[in-house]
Amino acid sequence: MRKLTLSVVALGMAFGLTMPAAAKVFKMTTFTTEGSSSWQLYPETFVKKVTLATDGKVKIKPYGAFVLASIFEANRAVLDGRADIAYHYPAFEINQNPASAFISDIPGGMGSDAKLAWLLAGGGVELWKNYRNSQGLHGLFCGLIGSELFANSHKKVQTLADFKGYRYRTAGANTFVMKKLGAAPNSVPGPEVFTMLERKGVDGAEYLDPFGNFALGFHKIAKYVIYPGIHAPGGAYEVLMKKSTWDAFPADIQQKIEMVCDSVLVRSYATLQFKNADAMRKMAESGRNELVKLSPEVIAAVQKAGREWAEEKIKEQDAKGKPWMGKLAKSFYSFMEMWTKNSGFQVVDRE
């Protein structure tokens, strides 16, 4: 009983509460709108499972994107107190912290199966924990995304020659990569992508995975479905909080929250991958769409340009005294090389 009392007191001190710590409800900002399919798969499920796993000792109130904070400043919102926790997609902070690309998505990087192995067993989790700790934060991997669609497109692009002048909506590191390939990238904000594509303000657009784009109706306004999503081959979501918040939890509560994230990661990934495959099936059978597979030369070019982007950013970050981009890159690419050379024993169920 005394141990439990001390733990509760520690939590209260960590948050400067004048009321009993048991009454604390953690405010959580998220990357998605309340009620969306992503909301149901990730924040909503996480909150329910944390409540169950901790017997109600940890209570979390999730808020949709832009209620407590913008999706582009969730990490800052945790540090400045606007939110206690963030359900976060690290890609959204790539301009301020380019190292986040290795956890979210980097063009030409690892697919989701290799990414999962690297994160949880190949050293990624330790590096990321130390990186976040250096910012006064603690991060937990709490979701995995399969590859995005490369594009829903009005123009058929398949070879490198097809990319010359290709007006393509994209964002982040892929803007650099597409310029290398001769395309004309356009960074239209997410909510405007559908309208821009519908009005043919761009030739093609990448936005979400097959299920996400299908749910938004992209396949109804653009004939060509371009794959694989080598620009965004597999990313991870993160539950983020201050390190002091995490440290204040008793060890058993920490372990339970970690188990919740493992559960959310596996179950959400299985659900999402099923929905992605089903969306591809529906588009293939629709009679409206043509599925186009990128040539090996395009995939190799994206991998090369993605690596060049990373090397440029490493130099920039090192010059600022920030070594984490280089540390993550070294681990990431080393694991990717090992995996590529030695994972051929696996049965891959695809044509």
Q: What does the alpha-carbon distance between residue 5 and residue 18 come to, in Å, rounded to a whole number?
A: 15
What's the pLDDT tens digit per position in 248-282?
999 999 999 999 999 999 999 999 999 999 999 99
What is the pLDDT at residue 188?
A: 81
What is the pLDDT at residue 1?
A: 44
Six token digits for residue 206: 């990448």
- The closest of 196, 130, 163, 201 to 292, measured between CA atoms, is 163
The average confidence (pLDDT) of the chain is 92
| β partners of residue 169 | 186, 205
Give me the sheet containing 25-29, strands edge to edge.
59-63, 25-29, 85-88, 235-242, 137-145
The structural domains of the chain, with segments of one domain joined by +, span: 2-147+234-274, 151-232+283-310
What is the pLDDT at residue 348?
A: 84
Rounded percentage of the chain residues whose pLDDT exceeds 70: 93
SS3 108: coil
**Separate counts of helices (H) and strands (E) for the chain:** 14, 11
The alpha carbon of 16 is separated from its chain's Cα centroid by a whole number of angstroms, namely 32
What's the pLDDT tens digit per position in 27-62?
999 999 999 889 999 999 999 999 999 999 999 999
Yes or no: say if 92 and 58 are a contact pair by the CB < 8 Å rule: no
The correct answer on CATH 1.10.3720.10 for the domain covering 2-147+234-274 is no
Yes or no: say if 157 and 292 are a contact pair by the CB < 8 Å rule: yes
Give the position of tokens 């109130």: 61
Q: Assess whether pLDDT exceeds 90 at residue 68.
A: yes
SS3 224: strand
What's the pLDDT tens digit per position in 105-131?
899 999 999 999 999 999 999 999 999
Rounded percentage of the chain residues whose pLDDT exceeds 90: 85
Q: What are phi and psi of 145, to 5 degrees?
A: -115, 135
Half-sphere exposure of 207 (CA within 13 A, CB side): 26
Helix axes 251-285, 45-53, angle to 10 degrees: 150
Give the position of tokens 């372990």: 255
For 186, the enclosing helix (H) or strand (E) is strand 184-186
Q: What does the alpha-carbon distance between residue 300 and residue 250 come to, in Å, rounded to a whole number?
A: 48
Q: What are phi and psi of 241, to 5 degrees?
A: -150, 170
Q: Assess whether pLDDT exceeds 70 at residue 9.
A: no
What is the pLDDT at residue 171?
A: 87
Q: What are phi and psi of 280, to 5 degrees?
A: -60, -40
What's the pLDDT tens digit per position in 289-336?
999 999 999 999 999 999 999 999 999 999 999 999 999 999 999 999
Confidence of residue 190 (pLDDT cuts 50, 70, 90): confident
What's the pLDDT tens digit per position in 18-36?
333 455 899 999 999 999 8
SS3 109: coil
Q: What does the alpha-carbon distance between residue 147 and residue 230 come to, in Å, rounded to a whole number?
A: 7
Six token digits for residue 316: 């920039």
SS3 217: coil
CATH architecture of 151-232+283-310: 3-Layer(aba) Sandwich (3.40)
Q: How far are the Cα atoms of 157, 197, 201 from residue 188, in angstroms, in the given order?
A: 20, 10, 10
Ramachandran class of 108: left when φ > 0, alpha when ψ lies in -120 to 50, beta otherwise: left
Residue-by-residue DSSP string for 191-202: GGHHHHHHTTSS
Q: What does the alpha-carbon distance between residue 273 and residue 335 come to, in Å, rounded to a whole number?
A: 23
What's the pLDDT tens digit per position in 79-94?
999 999 999 999 899 9
What is the pLDDT at residue 351?
A: 79
Max CA separation in the chain (angstroms): 71
Q: What does the alpha-carbon distance between residue 66 and residue 69 come to, in Å, rounded to a whole number?
A: 5
Within this chain, domains 2-147+234-274 and 151-232+283-310 share the same CATH topology: yes
- The closest of 158, 175, 231, 167 to 196, measured between CA atoms, is 167
Confidence of residue 8 (pLDDT cuts 50, 70, 90): very low
What's the pLDDT tens digit per position in 139-151?
999 999 999 999 9
For 25, the enclosing helix (H) or strand (E) is strand 25-29
What is the pLDDT at residue 23?
A: 59
Q: How far are the Cα atoms of 57, 147, 150 from residue 298, in angstroms, in the given order?
A: 51, 16, 11
What is the pLDDT at residue 225?
A: 98
